[in-house]
């Protein structure tokens, strides 16, 4: 064998190794865990802008939404799960499907845009959901809610989109203290979590929503800064989410960056490594 043959053989083996590694990574991401980086503040304080976590895809079984999306706007790449696995969509079903529990923090595909969202599951099929004067009502009963102090953060651009937070203490200049009132809600199944409130907003009072069979109702914990099921799809909201559009459950934050990129390790938050998600 000549040196040229050896060189060509080495290149082929390298290519094969890379292809096998990519295939293995694709299978792992499709079947088990999908990385997710929190880009917005709709789930504060449960999830902060810059939290990096893995979504447990085994929690609810598998559907077309289990296929990974490859979206890189800078390169003009926009291939989502429906493009790859839409052929397996069938009557809102899942393989090895398991029903989610009320209070789970879930990643799902937006039923219209296909983009990944992360919110808390509030309403199950058949439930009625309503907000009245900032209080959540499930099946006609108010969900227990008690004050729990104040959530504060620095007023500054956050995350890759450089969005500034909204505050309950009025207009706050850069580097000032932005405050939100914190409450603790307890769902009928005993799940408790914090919600944030900046005052009376349009989604603090809603109509009564009846969750259809095979669908779910989601809300963000940062109630006045969340586009969720309270807003119908017809006006660019989320609306009711079909069972097949669930991607998986978020269980634990791996690490968190307060900077523009998760690669900026000097901006990592020391208190959020392997933090459980309630």
33-37 and 51-56: which strand pairing? antiparallel
The rounded percent of the chain whose pLDDT value lies above 70 is 87
Instruction: Tell me what pLDDT residue 278 has.
Output: 85
Say whether pLDDT at 6 is over 50: no
Cα 199 → chain centroid:
24
Judged by average pLDDT, the poorest of 13-27, 98-112, 125-139 is 13-27
Distance (Å, whole) CA 36 – CA 273: 15
Instruction: Tell me what pLDDT residue 84 has.
Output: 76
Q: Is 111 left (phi over 0), alpha (psi -120 to 50) or beta?
A: alpha
User: Count of residues for the chain?
Assistant: 278
The catalytic residues are: 42, 119
More confident residue, 18 or 60: 60
Distance (Å, whole) CA 180 – CA 152: 6
Instruction: Tell me what pLDDT residue 90 has.
Output: 76
- What domains appear along the chain, each with residue ranges and CATH number? 32-257 (2.10.109.10)
Average pLDDT value over all residues in the chain? 87
Q: pLDDT-based confidence at 4, cuts 50/70/90?
A: low
Query: Which residue, 267, 211, 228, is CA-closest to 42?
Result: 228
More confident residue, 144 or 82: 144
The pTM (predicted TM-score) of the whole model is 0.86
Instruction: Tell me what pLDDT residue 21 has.
Output: 43
């Amino acid at each position: 064998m000549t040196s040229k043959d050896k060189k060509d053989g080495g290149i082929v083996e390298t290519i094969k190794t890379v292809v096998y590694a990519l295939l293995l990574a694709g299978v792992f991401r499709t079947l088990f865990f999908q990385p997710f980086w929190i880009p917005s503040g709709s789930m504060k304080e449960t999830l902060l802008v810059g939290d990096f976590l893995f979504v447990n895809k085994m929690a609810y079984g598998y559907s077309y939404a289990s296929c990974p999306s490859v979206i890189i706007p800078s390169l003009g790449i926009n291939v989502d799960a429906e493009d790859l696995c839409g052929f397996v969509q069938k009557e809102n079903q899942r393989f090895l499907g398991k029903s989610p529990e009320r209070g789970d923090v879930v990643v799902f595909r937006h039923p219209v845009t296909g983009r990944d969202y992360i919110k808390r599951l509030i309403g199950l099929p058949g439930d009625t959901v309503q907000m009245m004067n900032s209080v959540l009502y499930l099946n006609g009963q108010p969900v227990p809610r008690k004050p729990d102090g104040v959530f504060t953060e620095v007023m500054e651009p956050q995350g890759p989109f450089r969005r500034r937070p909204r505050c309950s203490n009025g207009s706050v200049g850069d580097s000032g203290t932005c405050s939100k009132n914190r409450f603790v809600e307890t769902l009928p199944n005993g799940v408790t979590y914090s919600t944030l409130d900046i005052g009376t907003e349009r989604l603090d009072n809603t109509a009564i929503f009846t969750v259809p069979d095979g669908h779910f109702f989601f809300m963000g914990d940062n109630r006045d800064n969340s586009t969720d099921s309270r807003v119908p799809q017809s006006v660019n909201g989320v609306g009711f989410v079909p069972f097949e559009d669930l991607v998986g459950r978020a269980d634990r934050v791996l690490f968190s960056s307060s900077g523009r990129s998760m690669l900026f390790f000097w901006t990592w938050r020391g208190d959020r490594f392997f933090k459980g998600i309630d």
